[in-house]
Structure 1
């Protein structure tokens, strides 16, 4: 058996690392700039508010999850189109395989939009709900429609853990509370002499 070994020079490795860094840092920078255009509901001296820190990281995680779902949806849509072009008898069975990734993309994009542009407790609540709908729930749908087994180390379990962590952070951390003007954020602002900037 003949094997092919590909060797990369130091310059090529550095170029790939630089491209990966740019692919990550540029979207993060863009999201931060866009989100900064919308001020947080409350600002408290000494306590960070607005999109940044772990909140920005949370949004990036949701974006990665959404991009993954969009990639799988596009790939499955191409396969579905190929199968349907051969026979329309398979239209509904093939279309069913697209539902989980389409739903995941849809709900995750709503969650991202709510966190980036929304500045109200309703926006925060909508983001949390959509994160659950686009994450663990869709993973369960995927196992149903695609006949995949539910395993402890599989996708539903991993997404469930990630979504629980994201939910706990969004609901109980100071930065999201001040940014989206939740009841706890209001209490914190009043107790620390904070100011109300605006609410959307």
Structure 2
């Protein structure tokens, strides 16, 4: 066998709280890579409830790479949560109409941070909140209950509110090599044949793989 089937909703037979997330996504503006899983005792089908203020007319995307591990209650705040801040009031009068639609913000007046992007092989702990437009690099670890307001570099560990870098998982030269190798893009058979090198940090072995 050359690894599990990424199209299987329940890759751990008899343990339905873990599911390969891409198979549960209905929103076309949420894109999830193979083997990324969501672990929720209430069921992985509930993931989209945690993607808040994601209005289709705004058009921002949540993009999550391959081989990510996402714990229960990870919340993504999208750009629809933003209010105009340049007036005397931040109240969104326009959404209630009945004469208040005249207060509709002009193009560019609402803060817009772009797509939220999670790299490959990212571990996001329980009850993390990720703010609009944040970019999280490959191999990062986001500690439980962190509130991520800024971009996270590859293979960093961040924690706290607001989240701050605790340390790099590896030296920068190793990080650069891992990004260049990009094992997460390999076919399943190649990953299976080289799992030992991946999980035991055998960089020289990974570098010599054809």
TM-based fold match above 0.5? no
TM-score by structure 2 length? 0.29
Q: Which has the higher contact order (CA 8 A, sep 6+)?
A: 1
Give the TM-score of the pair, scaled to structure 1.
0.30
Query: Per residue, is there more strand in 1 or in 2?
Result: 2
